[in-house]
Structure 1
Amino acid sequence: MASSASLMVLALSMASIAAIAEARAFFIFGDSLVDSGNNNYLETTARADSPPYGIDYPTGRPTGRFSNGLNIPDLIGKQIGLSESPLPYLSPDFNGKKLLLGANFASAGVGILNDTGVQFVNILRMYRQLELFEEYKRRLSGLVGTRQANRVVNQALVLITVGGNDFVNNYYLVPFSARSRQYSLPDYVRFLISEYRKLLMKLYKAGARRVLVTGTGPLGCVPAELAMRGNNGGCSQELQRAASLYNPQLVQMINGLNDKIGRDVFISANTQKMHNDFVSDPQAFGFTTSEIACCGQGPYNGLGLCTQLSNLCPNRDLYAFWDPFHPSEKANKLIVEQIMTGSNEYMNPTNLSTIIAFDSKI
């Protein structure tokens, strides 16, 4: 027979679980822009688990985030009231009550297509991220029961950020790549959109009812592309063309999905415009440069990886880009500000704060 002390511990534990379950869970899918450390547990070269990554993170240590500090999921999590960011699904600490906060399934290097990022070898491709989501739901059901688990998933916010690698690390990875020989750029974009639609429908069928979908940034203007493909300091026009073809079609596809479902399940964020604002006028946002990465080497600090041997700027807040591909924490904050409160120029059908306020009344 259980002692009164052990029953009290059990009661307190269940009360704690119930309290956490009242908060909105947060699930993250996608690539390095939102990976919080899954790749730390994989045999892959797509990693951010060594200094100076994490130099401005609260612990001052690398976490697997491709950032000097907080990334976009961290910042959105704070805005929706989470006490801490959802852990990477592969983390050995991801168990018990942590499941109720949600989970991060993102993996650096992935794309919409399974053949994107093949050079990184062992990464969680999108089909695998969705498989792990199903595994997560089974684990959550074991913790709180099937009915409550379904409720957690249905009421959660989902973020998915993927697509940029399908251009940078696939179509344009090498001259005359397999995909570029198979498709013209407009046809490739249409193919990506059709494949992305399948992924989003799988998320919906898995129970997701509020899904924030971000487009690609200005692909041709990141320091890596300025260093490799830029023309006399200008952005790579071909990659800019790719982003300009892709992003409007993504919004159109999302609108079509919402029409088919009969409600605004999917919310699109125009991250190309969000980036363009500070890329085109960095000084207006407190940056000294949007061309040179804080950490890197070569022209624009855009070549190779950010390592302990790289050039490192003393003040990360003055740089729009942390490394050759990824925004700084300050830039991430500007992006999340627009996600939360931006006009219809940035968010479709409306911003996340409005969505959250609407959901709270249901």
Structure 2
Amino acid sequence: MASNIIILMMIMVLRVVEGAAERAFFVFGDSLVDTGNNNYLATSARADSPPYGIDYPTHRPTGRFSNGLNIPDIISEKLGIEPTLPYLSPELQGEKLLVGANFASAGVGVLNDTGIQFVNIIRIGQQLEYFAEYQKRVGALIGSEKAKQLVKEGLVLITLGGNDFVNNYYLVPFSVRSRQYMLPDYVSYVISEYKNVLQKLYSLGARRVIVTGTGPLGCVPAELAQRSRDGSCADDLQQAAVLFNPQLVEMLNGLNSEIGSHVFVAANTNQMHLDFIIDPQAFGFVTSKVACCGQGPYNGMGLCTPLSNLCSNRDEYAFWDPFHPTEKANRIIVEQILTGTTDYMHPMNLSTIMVMDSKA
């Protein structure tokens, strides 16, 4: 019996990889998933200098806010497909367009005023405009009908929301948004605007969309350094995550009901992060409070630069810099996206999606 189960699992994995082989992958969102678009912009939201990329195959900074690979890279790796190039990369031409594209830009949020301090970033509305432009480029390459099919059968990952709190509502005391809205009302507003974004994405042809929630916003080293006296997570930002994530799932369920199909899949990245924040040792981490690269308390102050404190073993740290997970932590998150239970992926995980779609 056990051997039959193992054989069945192997067949499923083979089908997943087989189904992914010709499947395009599209990525939208912020610095958690940006693979280098901001390198091509005049902005302060960049990760183009050492020690970023220290564990990347080239050991050079790539624009990823990571010591190595980030979440989209690892999803591509697990599915056996080429990593998607940043949409602004001059290398994204010809056949490479058929792999998909990454439109994400560090600093952006659901709202247009999120990230204004970074000046020149690709706000989500512009990311969607680039997606429409991308489809015209692919249409010129393979014909408009095949381009539509490529997008329809593609996989989409979108990561937004964290910056709307960290870099907007809570950026400074008495911020414009915090004076305008009480937190519960602000969360509702962000969710309603996010719904508009996802409806636009659907209208542009996306039919399989993984939507990540925010992580535990008050637990990142940057917030511990600014707001925590004893190393416990910052209550105000945690409250934002507690309010936002369930409402996001509810909104996605509503959208799926309106459409009559499971287009939008919720990834509970809050719980995925909390697992290794609460019990870092269980995942092989020495700490989930101190960033590998940074300065000040918890290495959570300022930017990660060549002058920062730098840990020698990145696999011992859950956080790479004051805000972003290490590659090892990203791998744990992707594992849950691929195979996690409904506590992590609702209504289904990525492996199930790939098997279902390969049969279809």
- TM-score, structure 2 length as denominator? 0.94
In 1, the alpha carbon distance for the partners of 2:228 and 2:122 equals 31
Q: Shift in Å at residue 79 of structure 1?
A: 2.0
Deviations 1:24-81 (A, max 9, x none): 0000000000000000000000000010000000111100000000000000111222
Q: Which residue of 1 aligns with 2:320?
A: 322
In 1, the alpha carbon distance for the partners of 2:211 and 2:160 equals 9
Matches within 5 A, 1:186-335: 186-335=184-333
Deviations 1:214-236 (A, max 9, x none): 00000000000000111321110
Which ranges of structure 1 fall in alignment gaps of 5 or more residues?
Answer: 1-18
Q: Which residue of 2 aligns with 1:147?
A: 145
Q: Which residue of 2 aligns with 1:126?
A: 124
Q: Which residue of 1 aligns with 2:98?
A: 100
Q: Which residue of 2 aligns with 1:35?
A: 34
Asked if the contact 2:19–2:354 (Cα under 8 Å) also holds between the matched residues in 1, the reply is no
Q: Which residue of 1 aligns with 2:71?
A: 72
Q: Which residue of 1 aligns with 2:52?
A: 53
CA 1:118–1:175: 2 relative to 1, 3 Å: same
Deviations 1:263-316 (A, max 9, x none): 000000000000000000000000000000000000000000000000000000
Q: Which residue of 2 aligns with 1:12?
A: none
In 1, the alpha carbon distance for the partners of 2:256 and 2:293 equals 40
The DSSP-based 3-state class of the residue aligned with 1:65 is coil
The DSSP-based 3-state class of the residue aligned with 2:233 is coil
1:24 equivalent in alignment to 2:12? no
The DSSP-based 3-state class of the residue aligned with 1:158 is strand
Q: Shift in Å at residue 253 of structure 1?
A: 0.3
CA 1:135–1:307: 2 relative to 1, 3 Å: same
In 2, the alpha carbon distance for the partners of 1:185 and 1:156 equals 36
What amino acid is aligned across from residue 66 of structure 1 in structure 2?
F
1:44 equivalent in alignment to 2:37? no
Asked if the contact 2:20–2:80 (Cα under 8 Å) also holds between the matched residues in 1, the reply is no
Asked if the contact 1:117–1:169 (Cα under 8 Å) also holds between the matched residues in 2, the reply is yes
- TM-score, structure 1 length as denominator? 0.94
In 1, the alpha carbon distance for the partners of 2:128 and 2:175 equals 28
In 2, the alpha carbon distance for the partners of 1:285 and 1:60 equals 25
In 1, the alpha carbon distance for the partners of 2:286 and 2:151 equals 42
What amino acid is aligned across from residue 50 of structure 1 in structure 2?
S
What amino acid is aligned across from residue 128 of structure 1 in structure 2?
Q
Q: Which residue of 2 aligns with 1:176?
A: 174
What amino acid is aligned across from residue 159 of structure 2 in structure 1?
T
Asked if the contact 2:20–2:79 (Cα under 8 Å) also holds between the matched residues in 1, the reply is no
The DSSP-based 3-state class of the residue aligned with 1:68 is coil
In 2, the alpha carbon distance for the partners of 1:230 and 1:210 equals 39
What amino acid is aligned across from residue 122 of structure 1 in structure 2?
N
The DSSP-based 3-state class of the residue aligned with 1:181 is helix
1:111 equivalent in alignment to 2:114? no
Asked if the contact 2:20–2:354 (Cα under 8 Å) also holds between the matched residues in 1, the reply is no
The DSSP-based 3-state class of the residue aligned with 1:103 is strand
Q: Shift in Å at residue 104 of structure 1?
A: 0.2
Asked if the contact 2:21–2:80 (Cα under 8 Å) also holds between the matched residues in 1, the reply is no
The DSSP-based 3-state class of the residue aligned with 1:60 is coil
Aligned length: 343
Asked if the contact 1:106–1:124 (Cα under 8 Å) also holds between the matched residues in 2, the reply is yes
Asked if the contact 1:21–1:152 (Cα under 8 Å) also holds between the matched residues in 2, the reply is no
In 2, the alpha carbon distance for the partners of 1:343 and 1:127 equals 32
Of all paired residues, the percent bearing the same amino acid is 70
The DSSP-based 3-state class of the residue aligned with 1:159 is strand
Asked if the contact 2:19–2:357 (Cα under 8 Å) also holds between the matched residues in 1, the reply is no
Q: Which has the larger radius of gyration?
A: 1
Q: Shift in Å at residue 22 of structure 1?
A: 6.2
The DSSP-based 3-state class of the residue aligned with 1:113 is coil
Asked if the contact 1:20–1:101 (Cα under 8 Å) also holds between the matched residues in 2, the reply is no
Deviations 1:124-182 (A, max 9, x none): 00000000001000000000000110010000000000100000000000101010011
What amino acid is aligned across from residue 99 of structure 1 in structure 2?
L
Q: Which residue of 1 aligns with 2:14?
A: none
What amino acid is aligned across from residue 85 of structure 1 in structure 2?
P
The DSSP-based 3-state class of the residue aligned with 1:40 is helix
In 1, the alpha carbon distance for the partners of 2:19 and 2:304 equals 37
Asked if the contact 1:24–1:80 (Cα under 8 Å) also holds between the matched residues in 2, the reply is no
What amino acid is aligned across from residue 41 of structure 1 in structure 2?
Y
In 1, the alpha carbon distance for the partners of 2:21 and 2:98 equals 9
